[in-house]
Amino acid sequence: MEKVIVDCSTGETTVVPLTAEEIAELEAAAAQAEADRKAAEIEAAAKEAARAEILAKLGLTDDEAKVLLG
């Protein structure tokens, strides 16, 4: 993996390889982003399940709830 360094005062660009530490940081950030995405999916599914359960207890369909909550 490489990174591009741009010197804005001269317009010169330099391509340098990433260090092992930088690669590890990128991999850790990618793993954390994936974990956050999965957690958000699980949370959304739990909210939808809770919503469906409440509607079922009230005997309402999704369409009826939308009309009531407008």
- Rounded-to-integer distance, Cα 69 and Cα 57, Å: 16
Percent of the chain clearing pLDDT 70 (strictly above): 100
In terms of pLDDT, which residue wins out, 42 or 61?
A: 42
Residue pLDDT, tens place only, 12-30: 999 999 999 999 999 999 9
* Radius of gyration of the chain, Cα coordinates, nearest whole angstrom: 24
- Rounded-to-integer distance, Cα 53 and Cα 62, Å: 11
- Rounded-to-integer distance, Cα 12 and Cα 21, Å: 25
Q: Domain residues of the chain, as ranges?
A: 2-69
| Mean of all residue pLDDT scores within the chain | 95
